[in-house]
Structure 1
Amino acid sequence: MCNLFSRTTTQEAMRQLFKVAPGADHLGNAAAQPAIFPDGQVAIVTSDDDGSRSLQYARWGWQKVRFKGSNREQWLTNVRNLKANAWKNVIANRAQRCLVPASSFCEYHPTEKIPGKAGRMNKAASWFCLQGETARPPFAFAGVMRTWNLEHHGLRKKSDADLVALGSEITAMSFLTTEPNAIVAPIHPKAMPVILRAEEEFETWLHGPTEEASALQRPLPDDALQLAFIGETADATA
């Protein structure tokens, strides 16, 4: 479910939209990301107790799990059941909430196919974005984050071995999903990401009481979302 999204918003636009504090952009020179996959580096917005917001990187994926019917481990990338004790505790901890800037998200079409490698036909990527006067208006997923200690939790990639010697820790993130609206359901009937569009929602997610933050787990109104295109596994506007 939603294991592919894009972030084509510029850094300056992210700083303005999410009210990032002066000097608190730690992304360096962040290029657009037309296709972000699990375990990829993702821009997130965090907030201190005093409300000061920062931009930083995190790795997409909470932990490796073996899903029912699968013979391999995959990254747990989405959170759905907030009533489970583990997730209930995470959401109750405001320090673990974050915003995940995005401009579109993808679900694979159940019937449409496109040519792939070695003559294979692959499921076509269905890209969804907000309705708006401009292409791909920016938004945020309601995200959660935690510290990932490479020595304690294990390497996420072989290349991370060099970081262990430095005693490095990274940030792992995931984001919430909910039931799909009428735009997403024909493509993916099980779920869609929780999408936040306004400053009031950003602030509630980052600092609001647990009950108010959890109440943001709802589908986006149908008239706020559109199916942008069906085809490649990268946002066509990038």
Structure 2
Amino acid sequence: MCNLYNLKASARDIGAVFDAIDASGGALEKDYVSPGRPGLVVTQSAATRRLRTMRWGFPPPPGVRNAVVNVRNYHSAFWRSALANPERRCLVPVTSFQEWSVEPDPITGKKKPHWFSIPSRPIFAFAGIWRPVGDDAAYAFLTASYDGDPATHVVGAVHPKAMPVIVDDNDYERWLTAPVEDALGLAVPFPSQLMAVD
């Protein structure tokens, strides 16, 4: 489960990549985003895309303590209305994301952080959803399970449960506007051979 990602790019550069009007109100405090902190998202209404600032993590359902940052069960009633409404879908700009190794290092006894990026795309996007929360707004992003053996995927070899859904540049419009069944067709692991890990 991804709980940390980098966004080492200016709002201007991000807006240019996504053809979005900058309505973010300025730069983020840090060049990384963790749960509960503000992040940038791209929303679309009619034909206009906007770069906005929202908090990462949906308010939790009853009985859950922490904000919910990853969408795993697309059929859950908790996510259904946001997924079904194209105006509540968003793109989450990212420059790299972190997953922790499952097994601790045999020498240090500590789990190791691994950073994943897409060398051909310095700024890429997760498939996200958002909702209003009072006068603010919150977002989360989808994760996808691997087909077959997770160890054959660059991310799955480190974190075998799932990885964030990365939207190809050519599919931004589809994620932001298509009927839900079509949009969820994008919820698959990004091609391993196009990714790099540090």
Instruction: Give the superposition deviation at 1:31.
Output: 5.0
1:60 maps onto 2:56 in alignment? yes
Does the aligned pair in 2 maintain the 1:113–1:123 contact within 8 Å? no
Aligned match for 1:207, one of 177, 183, 190: 177
Equivalent in the alignment of 1:166: none
Equivalent in the alignment of 2:145: 179
Q: Distance in 1 between matches of 2:34 and 2:99?
A: 12
Equivalent in the alignment of 1:84: 76
Instruction: Give the superposition deviation at 1:84.
Output: 2.2
Does the aligned pair in 2 maintain the 1:97–1:145 contact within 8 Å? yes
Equivalent in the alignment of 1:130: 118
Does the aligned pair in 1 maintain the 2:12–2:22 contact within 8 Å? no
Q: Distance in 2 between matches of 1:216 and 1:33?
A: 30
Identity %: 34
Instruction: List gaps (5 residues or longer) in structure 1.
Output: 116-120, 150-168, 230-238
User: Once the two structures are superposed, what CA deviation does each residue of 1:44-66 show, in whole Å capped at 9, x if it has no partner?
Assistant: 111112x1011110000012358
Q: Which amino acid aligns with 2:58?
A: W
Q: Indicate the SS of the match to 2:35.
A: coil
Does the aligned pair in 1 maintain the 2:23–2:52 contact within 8 Å? yes
Equivalent in the alignment of 2:4: 4
User: Once the two structures are superposed, what CA deviation does each residue of 1:11-31 show, in whole Å capped at 9, x if it has no partner?
Assistant: 2221111011xxx31223315
1:146 maps onto 2:117 in alignment? no
Instruction: Give the superposition deviation at 1:85.
Output: 3.2
Go from structure 1 to structure 2 and tell me whether the alpha carbon gap of 1:192 and 1:129 turns closer, same or farther (over 3 Å shift): same
Aligned match for 2:33, one of 36, 44, 53: 36
- Structure 1 outlier segments of 4+, above 6 Å: none
Q: Indicate the SS of the match to 2:154.
A: coil
Does the aligned pair in 2 maintain the 1:178–1:191 contact within 8 Å? yes
Instruction: Give the superposition deviation at 1:95.
Output: 1.5
1:103 maps onto 2:95 in alignment? yes
Instruction: List gaps (5 residues or longer) in structure 2.
Output: none
Go from structure 1 to structure 2 and tell me whether the alpha carbon gap of 1:108 and 1:89 turns closer, same or farther (over 3 Å shift): same
Go from structure 1 to structure 2 and tell me whether the alpha carbon gap of 1:32 and 1:220 turns closer, same or farther (over 3 Å shift): farther
* TM-score normalised to structure 1 length: 0.74
Instruction: Give the superposition deviation at 1:75.
Output: 1.9
Q: Indicate the SS of the match to 1:177.
A: strand
Equivalent in the alignment of 1:161: none
* TM-score normalised to structure 2 length: 0.88
Equivalent in the alignment of 1:160: none
User: Once the two structures are superposed, what CA deviation does each residue of 1:159-194 show, in whole Å capped at 9, x if it has no partner?
Assistant: xxxxxxxxxx10010000001461011210000000
Go from structure 1 to structure 2 and tell me whether the alpha carbon gap of 1:58 and 1:206 turns closer, same or farther (over 3 Å shift): same
Q: Indicate the SS of the match to 1:174.
A: strand
Go from structure 1 to structure 2 and tell me whether the alpha carbon gap of 1:65 and 1:86 turns closer, same or farther (over 3 Å shift): closer
Q: Distance in 1 between matches of 2:41 and 2:180?
A: 20
